[in-house]
Amino acid sequence: MNDNQLKVIGWIRSGMDYNAGLNLLVELTHKQTFLNLFSGKDKTLADKLAYEICKAAMLANHITWKDFIRKVKEEEGIEIVAKAEELPTDFSDVKVQEILSGYENKPKVCGPDSAKITETIETAETLETKPHTEYPPIIRRIIHEYAALFQERSKLHAVMTGMPESNAESVCAKRAELFGLIKSISARLEILYEAKKAFDEKGVVPAESEVFPPVEKEETEPDIASLDEAALKKQKKNLQSSNSKDQTILDYQSKERTEVKKPMPNGPKRLKIEMRINDRNKKIGEIETLLLKYAGKE
């Protein structure tokens, strides 16, 4: 019984979750076409998925697959059932492309057809236990970031696929936000994957600025304590204007106001804007305190 067959047995015993099974099927076959075929069709294709998984692992055929699954569930004399403690029940380590239901099922996002993906993630998990590997610092950084982003994308996808099938504005907005985040993570994964692939195949160590470009720093704001009254008032007005623009985005999801508000749903994007407004409000408070010394001098 090989590792793939162990995973299939474990999947059956853990309850045959549809999405986990689809991920497992892609891992077993390396065929991305299954994503389009099965995604979002758990009510109609669950049996076909189970059959394809058993066939891909060479555990059963079109005649015996149902009986095989029944025996695994009932633990009837199957060789592997006697080793229940060895069977995996957690499929968080399945390394395949995420299923972006209804949005994006591209065959290549991070090179999922290549064994390099699995190698990359497994290496990330064992770097600390394999110091003799001696990866260059930038390659270690690539491996760690790839693993972290992959897990983050998996979590976001799980949230999106768990959303209700509704066309309500709030649901559509949340779904679009999650899709945008997943898409941006996928783009970053592609860059990291290509850099690691170049190192694995050609020994190319990328320049740090190519993979991790420096973050552009905002222009240094003047020390408000050194500003005169006119400059303080101008600074306060600019901060208030920026807050007003951000608040419009929070209320209408647009830079322009409309007749009906369309509040931005909770999420990373909203949190970032709210934190930006909060920081400005603190700065405004500091300015107002400094302006007190000019009160009554007019």
192 and 100 in a common domain? yes
Nearest to 36 by CA among 27, 47, 26, 28: 26
Contact 54, 8 (CB under 8 A): yes
The model's pTM is 0.36
247 and 193 in a common domain? no
Instruction: Quote the Cα angle for 147-111-124, to 5°.
Output: 20
206 and 101 in a common domain? yes
Nearest to 205 by CA among 136, 123, 149: 136
148 and 81 in a common domain? no
262 and 188 in a common domain? no
Number of structural domains in the chain: 3
Nearest to 55 by CA among 68, 73, 36: 68
140 vs 294: which has the higher pLDDT: 140
Average pLDDT over residues 57-85: 70
pLDDT tens-digit readout, 82-132: 343 343 434 344 343 333 333 333 333 333 333 333 343 344 334 443 443
33 and 19 in a common domain? yes
77 vs 57: which has the higher pLDDT: 57
47 and 117 in a common domain? no
Both tokens of 52, joined, read: 């394809």
Last residue of a domain, one of 91, 118, 149: 91
Average pLDDT over residues 270-285: 88
Contact 99, 22 (CB under 8 A): yes
280 and 256 in a common domain? yes
107 and 187 in a common domain? yes
pLDDT band at 242 (very low <50, low <70, confident <90, very high): very high
Average pLDDT over residues 195-218: 80
pLDDT tens-digit readout, 9-45: 888 988 898 888 888 998 898 887 888 788 878 878 8
Q: What percentage of residues in the chain have a pLDDT greater than 90?
A: 12
Lowest-confidence region among 121-125, 158-162, 251-255, 267-271: 121-125
269 and 207 in a common domain? no
- Residue 60 domain boundaries: 1-91
Last residue of a domain, one of 91, 119, 154: 91
288 and 181 in a common domain? no
Q: Is the pLDDT of residue 246 over 80?
A: yes
Last residue of a domain, one of 216, 238, 271: 216
209 and 103 in a common domain? yes
